[in-house]
Amino acid sequence: MAFGAIFVPNFTVQAVLRSEPELGVRPLALIDGPPPTYRVVALNHLAALLGVTVGMTKAAATQFPGVEIRPIAKVQEVAAHSALLDVAWSFSPRVENTAPDTVLADLSGLTTLLGSYENIATIVVSKCSEVGLTVQVAVSANVETARVVARALPGATVIPQGHEAKYLETLPITMLSLSQELSEVFERWGVKTCKALASLPVISLSECVGQEGVRLHAIASGKGMRSLVISELAHSFEESLELDDAVEELEPLSFLLGRLLDQLCVRFVARSLAIRAIHLQFELEPAFEDAFDSASEFVRTRQLPGAYACTLELPVPSRDSKLLLKLVRLRLQSTLPKAPIQKIHLTAEPAHTRVMQGGLFVPEVPDPEKLELTIARIANVVGENNVGSPQLQDSHRPDSFRMQRFSVSPTPSPALETKSETKIAFRAYRPPVLAKIKLRGARPIHADFLGRSGDVINASGPWRTSGDWWEDDPWQQDAWDLELAFPYETPPAQGLYRICFDSRQKKWFVQGAYD
Amino acid sequence: MRLTSAALRLQVESALAGRVASPFRLREPEPTPTAPVGIPALDESTGGLPRGSLTEIYGPVSAGKTSILLSALAGRTTNAEVCALVDAQDAFDPSRAQSAGVSLQRLLWIRCRGLDQAFRSTDLLLHGGGFGLIAMDLSDVPARLVRQIPLNVWFRLRRAVESTPTILLVLSQESNAKTCASLVLRLENESTAWSLQCRRSASRIVHTPSCLLDGWTTAAEIVRSRMQRASSSPHHERTGAIAACEDSKDRVRFALGSASIPLSARHSQSQAAPARVIPFSELEKERMQNPG
């Protein structure tokens, strides 16, 4: 049995650098606390070299030139921790969520898949770097030993069974996560290393400091063993970014969204899942606009909504960050919020990756991801509601259909049907065109519409239909099929049209033409 | 001379060795793949709609353009191909299309308002790829507006569809694509059939009770065709090579019947006579015998 511990050193700073890697080349200090007494709680090595220390006030830290001072970002810490868990779950289903910066995993059985434990540890380090985290990994038969060594030693460490005490002996006892009280006690006793703690008599130790001391003694000896507290597999994938300077334009926003989508997609790849839908939420800066109040006939200033949300659903689950960014951009092009954006929050719904089996004799169909992009681009041109596939509704109302989302499903090629007669088609006028009809008795003899004047050559009708009388908008019409001649046009023309008399509006309309 | 040409041939072949295999071998041009429209008379005459090319069908209202479009869409969607219809004036009737055999689940319908949206959408579809048939319906757009589209736009569409298995079909009132179209058909409504016409009079106003629109006969003229065609027409023999039949005067006539009666009435008439290909000379004889 073997356990792996993954520890993220300087977790608070790494969480920020994961979202903003460009800060890594500058001295960075993170502050926290109630205003105005902000204090430095974390910093990177460049800031430490300049002389910034943990606990320093914000005012003192600003004295150092070139230091980037940022508040800590809890949302980014949550996202970084989720990414760490995703990497652990990609290796083992038994994962313990020990601390925000530490996870433990059961690595039993992985050697048959990935080789030696050294190889496994190296792969874990590599996978964590793909999600933007630099980690320290330790593998041991003893879970507590692995946890402690991962906190202390950089890189990947594999502890041979039976040698746990040897790896622990030189480590300071602060690596054992002592309480403040115990830490002071051990300091008074002069116990500074795990070896010193392990050499203390157990019975005396328990009498002085209680069972906690016994537990620490076992850990320091490399004998402390416990079971993992398995955490549930998370199904939420969220990434957030708080901006110091609010963003208004689409281009810089796209850059930030691209970064968040890259991080999301890497996490999905680690979990062998794909994205089914993306929920975008923006927190906006307070903004106002002038609006004309028709009731009072004055121009009033009203506040714009402080939040923006939209959902992008994919017909086929995908984890291509470039494709997702293009789709999000196309969506935002037409619906960009009017106020500057302060905070971005992305949530992705997971789905299993699609498995497609192509056929030898199936005709070529558009690639689903490319098709989605094409449809999104066309929707930007004609409007989202004007592109899709028509679905007829179960109604006798004329022109009764709705537009539904278009998707492709590969199906085997059926046998072609032979037709004995080709049916005539109809071209609808939407909306129906108002017409002036002259009647002789009850029959149309002349029609004027769209600036044209036609004589009726042949007529078929009236065909009376009505429906939905139990609804709020019933319909009732008398329809005619007319063959019209337009003798006064150059050249003279003829055509077959359908007109109807709307009995409710008491008007004639041209519904369309046969073609 | 013979030695000189042989030496020259050898020199050219050795210079192109490794880059061009058999530079002097005459290659038979590959036949253009086509897909049937679904109207036997038209398919026999034209050979079908060419893939990787632009086909233009034009004519006045009630000439049969939309009927041919629905027949082509029915054929392609039944064959499990995905089709797209760019509808410039939002005139497509889904219920008629379904009764004509079009599988609506495989049809992407783009409802445009104007030429600009129609051409941009068509361009995006062509570059997206994967469609069996893309139809751009400009039938209801005023002809004067379509005339203003520059020729390089049509050329761009043609280049976009080349070397793809997609059929690009354009419907309009006039021919606009000119040489960019590989197949151009002109349609004309020859005669309309009404059932229960028991009165014939000199008056143009004929109102017959319980009269129904049976359909009409369309005359299609192949104005331009760049494809191999079958040798059924006595005017064209099979040559084994692509025949650039510019300004061809082939005409074919076919009947378009009424679908289910438009409203509640039932249609009990017999089907229209089967369509046949009529040689041009016979059509001319017929016209001389029955003028008007």
User: What angle separates helix A11-19 from helix A74-91, to the nearest 10 degrees?
Assistant: 90
Stretch 439-478 of chain A: residues touching chain B, C-beta under 8 Å: 440, 443, 445, 455-460, 463, 465
**Minimum CA–CA partner of A496 in chain B:** B62
Is residue A393 classed as helix, strand or coil in its secondary structure? coil
Lookup result for tokens 């590969």: A410
Report the alpha-carbon distance of residue A121 to residue A87 in Å, rounded: 12
Mean pLDDT for the stretch of residues A36-65: 88
pLDDT at B1: 52
CA max distance for chain B: 87
Nearest to A382 among B65, B111, B130 (CB): B111
Tokens of A95: 């994962």
pLDDT at B87: 96
More confident residue, A336 or A311: A311
Lookup result for tokens 């000119």: B178
pLDDT of A376 higher than 80: yes
Report the alpha-carbon distance of residue B33 to residue B257 in Å, rounded: 29
Distances (CA, A) of A273 to A58, A423, A463, B222: 43, 48, 57, 54
Report the alpha-carbon distance of residue A397 to residue A112 in Å, rounded: 66
Distance from CA of B160 to the nearest CA of A (A): 15
Cβ count near A72 (within 10 Å): 16
Report the alpha-carbon distance of residue A113 to residue A362 in Å, rounded: 37
Stretch 89-148 of chain B: residues touching chain A, C-beta under 8 Å: 90-101, 104-113, 117, 120-121, 124-125, 127-132, 139-140
pLDDT at B232: 40
Distance from CA of B6 to the nearest CA of A (A): 47
pLDDT, tens digit, 9 for 90 and up, residues A429-456: 999 999 999 999 888 999 999 999 999 9
Asked if B67 lies within 8 A of A421 by C-beta distance, the reply is no
Q: What is the CA radius of gyration of chain A?
A: 36
pLDDT of A259 higher than 70: yes
Stretch 303-362 of chain A: residues touching chain B, C-beta under 8 Å: 362
Asked if A430 lies within 8 A of B75 by C-beta distance, the reply is no
Q: Which of A326, A422, A460 to mutate to test the interface with B (most CBs of B within 10 A)?
A: A422
Taking one residue from A and the other from B, the number of pairs with CB-CB distance under 8 angstroms is 228
- Scored b (16 or more CB within 10 A) or e, A286-318 reads eeeeeeeeeeeeeeeeeeeeeebeeebebbbbb
Most confident of A334-343, A400-409, A502-511: A502-511
**Minimum CA–CA partner of A364 in chain B:** B130
The residues, any chain, with a CB within 8 Å of residue A284's CB and separated by 6 or more, are A304, A305, A306, A307, A308, A337, A339, A340, A341, A342
pLDDT at A413: 46
Cβ count near B23 (within 10 Å): 12
Chain A residues with CB-CB distance to B71 below 8 A? 419, 422
Report the alpha-carbon distance of residue A374 to residue A446 in Å, rounded: 46
Lookup result for tokens 């090319």: B53
Q: Hey, is the C-beta of A130 within 8 angstroms of any chain B C-beta?
A: no
Report the alpha-carbon distance of residue B126 to residue B134 in Å, rounded: 8
pLDDT at B248: 44
Asked if B108 lies within 8 A of A365 by C-beta distance, the reply is no
Q: How confident is the model at residue A411 (pLDDT cuts 50, 70, 90)?
A: low
Sheet containing B83-87, strands listed edge to edge, beginning at the edge strand earlier in sequence: A401-404, A387-392, B107-111, B83-87, B133-137, B167-172, B53-58, B183-194, B213-225, B245-257, A422-423
Chain B residues with CB-CB distance to A326 below 8 A? none
Closest by CA position to B82, among listed A382, A416, A400, A362: A362
The pLDDT averaged over each successive group of 10 residues in chain B (292 residues) is 77 83 72 88 90 95 95 93 95 94 94 94 94 96 94 94 94 93 93 69 50 86 74 36 41 74 34 39 51 45
Q: Please provide the average confidence, as pLDDT, over all residues in chain A.
A: 87
What sign results for the dihedral spanned by CA atoms A152, A154, A156, A158?
A: negative
- Altogether, the residues listed in chain B come to a count of 292
More confident residue, A353 or A30: A30
Cβ B84 vs Cβ A371: under 8 Å = no
3-state secondary structure A434-447: EEEEEEECCEEEEE
Q: Which of A402, A458, A465, A515 to mutate to test the interface with B (most CBs of B within 10 A)?
A: A515
- Phi, psi torsion values for B149, nearest 5 degrees: -70, 125
Pairing of strands B53-58, B167-172: parallel
pLDDT of A226 higher than 60: yes
Report the alpha-carbon distance of residue A429 to residue A398 in Å, rounded: 12
Lookup result for tokens 């009737």: B93
Q: Which helix (H) or strand (E) holds A40?
A: strand A39-43
B208: amino acid identity, one letter: T
DSSP B260: S
Report the alpha-carbon distance of residue B44 to residue B292 in Å, rounded: 28
Stretch 3-62 of chain B: residues touching chain A, C-beta under 8 Å: 38-39, 60-62
Q: Hey, is the C-beta of A408 within 8 angstroms of any chain B C-beta?
A: yes
Nearest to A363 among B60, B132, B259 (CB): B132
Asked if B79 lies within 8 A of A413 by C-beta distance, the reply is yes
Could you give all domains of chain A from N- to C-terminal order, each with its CATH number? 3-26+67-221 (3.30.70.270), 237-290+304-352 (3.30.1490.100), 426-514 (no CATH)
pLDDT at B241: 30
Q: Hey, is the C-beta of B193 within 8 angstroms of any chain A C-beta?
A: no
pTM of the model: 0.73
Mean pLDDT for the stretch of residues A127-146: 91
Is residue A163 classed as helix, strand or coil in its secondary structure? coil
Could you give all domains of chain B from N- to C-terminal order, each with its CATH number? 29-195+212-230+241-262+271-287 (3.40.50.300)
Tokens of A115: 């080789």
pLDDT at B289: 55
Asked if B94 lies within 8 A of A392 by C-beta distance, the reply is yes
